[in-house]
Structures are given as C-alpha cells and as structure tokens.
Amino acid sequence: MYFHSVTLDRDRCKGCTNCIKRCPTEAIRVRDGKAKIIKEKCIDCGECVRVCPYHAKVVVTDDIGMMENYKYRIALPAPSLYGQFKDMTIGDILASLQSCGFDEVFEVAYAADIVSYITRNIVKAKDYKRPIISSACPAIVRLIQQRFPSLMDNILDIMPPVEVAGKIARDEAKKKTGLKDEEIGVFFVSPCAAKVTSVKNPIGIEKSYIDGVFSMRDVYSMILDKRKFAEKKIEHTSSMIGVGWANAGGESYGTSLENCLFVDGIQNVIGVLEDIELGKLDDIDFFEGLACVGGCVGGPLTVANNFIARNRIMKLKEKLNKDVSVKKYIAVDFHEFMLNVKLKKSDVLNLDEDIDKAIDMMKSIDEIYKSLPGLDCGSCGSPGCRALAEDVVKGFASEYDCIFKLKDRIKILAEEINKLSIKIPPVIGSDKEVKP
Amino acid sequence: MKPYTMDFDVKARDFSSAGESSSKFRKTLLMLSIPSDIVRRASIAAYEAEMNIVIHSYGGKMHFEIYKDKIVIVAEDTGPGIKDLELAMKEGYSTAPKEVIEMGFGAGMGLPNMKRNADTMEIVNHDESGTKIVMTINF
Ligand code: SF4
Ligand code: SF4
C-alpha cells in the first residue's frame, strides 16, 4: 500500500478549511468536520503542515527508540541541520548528534558533494534533455509525475544525497564491523516530509538504503541536551558546496553549469514547470525546484526560522573548503549512484482511462459547475466550486454540499410546504361542488 | 461522439492573464487521460496561438475541441491580419513591437512552433479583418 507521511491529528483538527485551499494538488477535503487527505494525490510537500493554525497536520516519522533494534547505528544529518543552532560549529553539532546514541555520523552534506561531483561529470558526458531537472526534492519529482509527466525524461537520474550517504555509510560499516546488513541501522535526520515518504516508497531505486527517518524536531532537543557533554570532537568532511545544498540554489551552484535556474516555493515551481513544458526555458541547463521556501532549511520538520537558518548556513559555508575530494567513493562510471528504476507517471488526475468516458464526465462537471455560485468559499469541504463539481461527478460529494444550493433547495421546499399548508381539507370547509 | 469543447476570450495586450486559457486547456487534457507527449504538443500549440492574439491582434478567441483521437485548436482574432505569411512562418522573424520583445515575448517562434507541434495547421484567412488558424493534433 502506498504510504505517505503527512497525516491528520483528528483531535486537533477543527475542520476550518485553511489547508484545503493551500494544498497545491487539491489533495485535501473536509468531511464530518475534519480534514481528510487523499493519499494518492498528496505529494508530501508540507504546505498544509505549515498553514494549519491548530497544528493538526502531523508528519509521521520513525520513533527514535527504533535504534535499539540495531547493533551498529549510523546517523545521517541533513545539511539543513547545521542552520538550526545558534553558536554551534558543524563539528559541535556532529559530535553532539553522535552522543545521542549513534556509533557513527555520516554527513549528507558530504554525499551532496559527491552528487555535485557526479553531476558535473555526467552532464558533460550524457546527452540530457534541457533543462535538466533536479531529482533532489521528492515533492517536486512527485509533482512532475502527477502534473508534468512529459518532463519526466528531463529529470537528472542521480540518487539524492541522502541515499548516496546511506549506501556509502552502510557499505563501510559492513566492512569495518563485519556485521550483517540487518544489524546495521542507518537513520536520516530529516527536515522533510517528502523524504520520509521516499524512504518507504523509493523513487527511482528498488529499495532505500535507510532504515528509519527521524524528525529534525525530535533530534533538535536531544542535540541541545548533549551539547555540553559531547565526548569527542568530530571533524566534518563536507565542503561549502555540500553544505550549501541546505539552501535553495546550493545544488545549482554545485553543478558548475552556467545557465541554472533555481526556484523555491511549490506554487512558484508549478509556474516555472509550466513554462518548461511550453519549451520557454530550453536555454536553461539546469533547473532546481524546491517545494519549500528557502529550500530544505525551510522544510516542515525544521525548528529554526527559515530566514535565520539560511543566513547561518551562509556564514558556516564561508569557513569551509571550496571543494573536497570525493574520489575514493566513486567508481569510474558512477553506476552505483544512479537511479535505475524508471519513473512512472501518476494517473490520479485522470477522470477515466477511457477518453470517451472521461469526456462525458468532464461535460457533467461543467454542467454542475455552471450551477454553483463560483465563490470558491470552501464551505462544502472541497477546495473550490470546480473541485466540488469534480467530486460530485466522481461520486465523492453531493451538489447539496454547497450551502447556497442547499439554501435554494430549502427555499423551494418551504414554498411548496407553504402552498400545501393553506389548502383546507374538505371536511372543514370547501365550496367545491360534489360531482356524482 | 460529440467532442468536449472549451471556449475563451483573449484580450489584446493583456500580458498578466496571457496564457491562462492554454493553461486551463492543458489541465483539462491531463484529466481526460490524453497521452503526455500529446498534452505537451497541444499545450505549446495553444499557448503560441494565444500569445499571438495577445501580442499581435485587436483581441480574439480560443476554441478547443477534444475528441477520442484528436484535438482541434482554433485561434481567431479580429485583425489586423498577417502581412507577409511566408516571412511570418520563418523562425526568428518577428513583427512584435519592441517593448513586447523586451518583455520576453514575441521571439518570432509563434507560427513555426505551432506548425512543428500540430499535425496539420491551416491558416483559414488572414486579412485586415482578422486571422483564423485551425490546428489538429492526432493521437
Ligand atoms: S502535504 Fe502538500 S500535497 Fe500533501 S496534503 Fe499537505 S499540502 Fe497537500
Ligand atoms: S525543499 Fe527540501 S525539505 Fe522541502 S520538500 Fe523539497 S526536499 Fe523536502
């Protein structure tokens, strides 16, 4: 069954309809006074998590206690973790993280250095469709599968840094410890809901190299607790390029390509993808689209204010090497770090596989839509009148979910009742003649 | 079977809503299970035609017909027509005013792009009273 990570805490949800309007894929409805996420449509972008005033949208992550199930534990901190703390160096953060019960810490930022290196080499060698589209933000990849299937061939077929990190760290730990695969636990410290989903339903690879995903929020306070007691100092390995991936534009910078475009915020990305599909951006080499404003530092599982975190990352970067050697991990042809499962387009938008049937349904949708007030008020629980019309035709809603239609209908019924009520029964009095 | 049709008015020089009808058309194609390469070609053809109306005409209409096996796009405007059709079909040739080109539109790819993405393209009439272009995309 398809798993997605953004879910609802029913007790907190007030059914206020704030989220249904902000969801970029129209994946939310309100039913019985509670929001409901249509899981096949949700791309786990986290928009609803951010906008819910009652914090009723929760991202399901793994419980930190699951570490107990493994003999050797590796933490993979996302680069955005480095922007979460005031006055802590990357070394401090890594050491404190390790003290939270890990045997080893492997920086995803370093894997980002590797991915940047591969990207630089591969875009020269391979004939990619332009613009090449980054595969790093899984919410965007899912958006493309759903709304821009013709752009799937443009997607860069390199594994995202977190999987590269997972693979290398796991392989090395196996060699070093002699333990079996299942005795080694690899845990991602994530800013991101979409990446939780990617571990359970990988995109472009058979199986994820990661065993569990911990929320950056959960790990944040643990790191603060350990900060004074971190046993040993850890030398970090990543360069300014790898760390830079935390912010929007970081990946583009790492490609060394001249003509890059990076766009953050899901609605902005949708607009640019439309332009790419129209062929308006064929002169761009590389497109980095990120669902979160600011990039992963603005991820739904981060703690620090996204603008401040962005600034901290910039400052940390200044102190780092420009580049770092990654050769020891890389085979000549990079095949082990390439995606090898073809992306499939998602059919959730299709009304019906059969075009004739779909056309019929579309005509009915238009009919119903015309009869609705067009206010897009959301009171019916659908994101707008058009969406309600779709839901009615698909059988998930009734026209009278629209309060205006319901009111009209009640008015007609009331008039009818009124008419009937003035009618006097003949036994009481009627001047009608009695015919034989 | 009767096709599914869509109609839109397109205003001249209204760059803020330019492309809206093509965008709605595109979304509809996705919902109707049209193959993705066809969606792409049809969107480009529609977008270019719509932009032509915005940039060059006094205003006009977009009309779409979606059948089981083909899409028909009709772009119709109220003038001033295409002066030199042969030149207009050349890539990079543009009669768009300077300020429009500076906005990044009117690169002279409109008609060539439409022709490239449609299976058939017919310019039904083009005189001072207007231009009517009919494109078909089969699948
Ligand atoms: S995570 Fe994004 S796609 Fe999923 S329901 Fe929330 S807003 Fe919609
Ligand atoms: S921008 Fe980063 S944190 Fe946000 S959804 Fe994409 S990958 Fe996740």
CA pseudo-torsion sign A131, A263, A143, B43 = negative
Amino acid of residue B135: M
> Does an H or E element contain B126, and which?
strand B120-127
pLDDT digits (tens, 9 = 90+) for A288-325: 999 999 999 999 999 999 999 999 999 999 999 988 88
Contact A358 B47 (CB under 8 A): no
| Strands B120-127 and B70-77, bridge-based pairing | unpaired
- Best mutation target among A129, A280, A345, A355 (most B Cβ atoms within 10 Å) is A355
Amino acid of residue A398: S
Provide the b/e sequence for B98-135 (b: ≥16 CB within 10 Å).
Answer: eebeeeebbbbbbbbbbbebbeebebeebeeebbbbbb
Split at pLDDT 50, 70, 90, the class of A431 is: low
**Which one of B4, B40, B44 has the shortest CB-CB distance to A359?**
B4
The alpha carbon of residue A352 is apart from the nearest alpha carbon of chain B, in Å, by 7
Q: State in words which class domain A353-420 has.
A: mainly alpha
Tell me which chain A residue has its CA closest to the CA of residue B106. A280
CATH of domain A4-57: 3.30.70.20
At residue B115, the pLDDT reads: 93
Domains of chain B: 4-138 (3.30.565.10)
The alpha carbon of residue B67 is apart from the nearest alpha carbon of chain A, in Å, by 8
The alpha carbon of residue A361 is apart from the nearest alpha carbon of chain B, in Å, by 9
**Which one of A274, A277, A350 has the shortest CB-CB distance to B31?**
A350
pLDDT digits (tens, 9 = 90+) for B21-72: 999 999 999 999 999 999 999 999 999 999 999 998 999 999 999 999 999 9
Contact B26 A356 (CB under 8 A): no
CA A124 – CA A253 distance, rounded (Å): 16
Residue A35 backbone dihedrals phi, psi, to 5 degrees: -70, 150
pLDDT (mean) for A211-216: 97
A67 touches A168 (CB < 8 A): no
Contact B36 A351 (CB under 8 A): no
At residue A274, the pLDDT reads: 95
Interface of A with B (CB under 8 A): 147, 149-150, 274, 277-279, 345, 347, 349-356, 358-359, 362-363
- Considering only CA atoms, which residue is closest to atom 4 of ligand 1? A42
pLDDT at A63 over 90: yes
Contact A149 B43 (CB under 8 A): no
Look-up: residue for tokens 């008419």?
A419
Split at pLDDT 50, 70, 90, the class of A435 is: confident
pLDDT digits (tens, 9 = 90+) for B113-135: 999 999 999 998 888 889 999 99
pLDDT digits (tens, 9 = 90+) for A2-54: 789 999 999 999 999 999 999 999 999 999 999 999 999 999 999 999 999 99
pLDDT at A418 over 80: yes
SS3 label, residue A186: strand
- Best mutation target among B33, B47, B70 (most A Cβ atoms within 10 Å) is B33
Task: State whether residue B20 sits within 8 Å of chain A by CB.
Answer: no
Nearest to A186 by CA among A3, A177, A223: A177
The interface predicted TM-score of the complex, written ipTM, equals 0.91
At residue A336, the pLDDT reads: 92
pLDDT digits (tens, 9 = 90+) for A270-279: 999 999 999 9
At residue A430, the pLDDT reads: 65
From-to residues of CATH 3.30.70.20 in chain A: 4-57
Distance A8 CA to ligand 2 centre (A): 20
Contact A355 B34 (CB under 8 A): yes
| Strands A184-190 and A212-215, bridge-based pairing | parallel
More confident of the two residues A335 and B100 = A335
Nearest atom, ligand 2, residue A302 CA: 3
B71 touches B62 (CB < 8 A): no
**Which one of B1, B34, B44 has the shortest CB-CB distance to A279?**
B44
From-to residues of CATH 1.10.15.40 in chain A: 353-420
pLDDT at A241 over 80: yes
Residues of chain A contacting residue B39, judged by C-beta atoms under 8 Å apart: 149-150
**Is the Cβ atom of A137 under 6 angstroms away from ligand 1?**
no
Nearest to A376 by CA among A340, A342, A402, A343: A402
Nearest atom, ligand 1, residue A41 CA: 3
CA A169 – CA A88 distance, rounded (Å): 24
Amino acid of residue A147: R
Nearest atom, ligand 1, residue A46 CA: 1
SS (H, E, C) B107-123: CCCHHHHHHHHCCEEEE
At residue B40, the pLDDT reads: 95
The alpha carbon of residue A263 is apart from the nearest alpha carbon of chain B, in Å, by 19
pLDDT digits (tens, 9 = 90+) for A334-355: 889 999 999 999 999 999 999 9
Nearest to B49 by CA among B100, B15, B10: B10
At residue A230, the pLDDT reads: 67
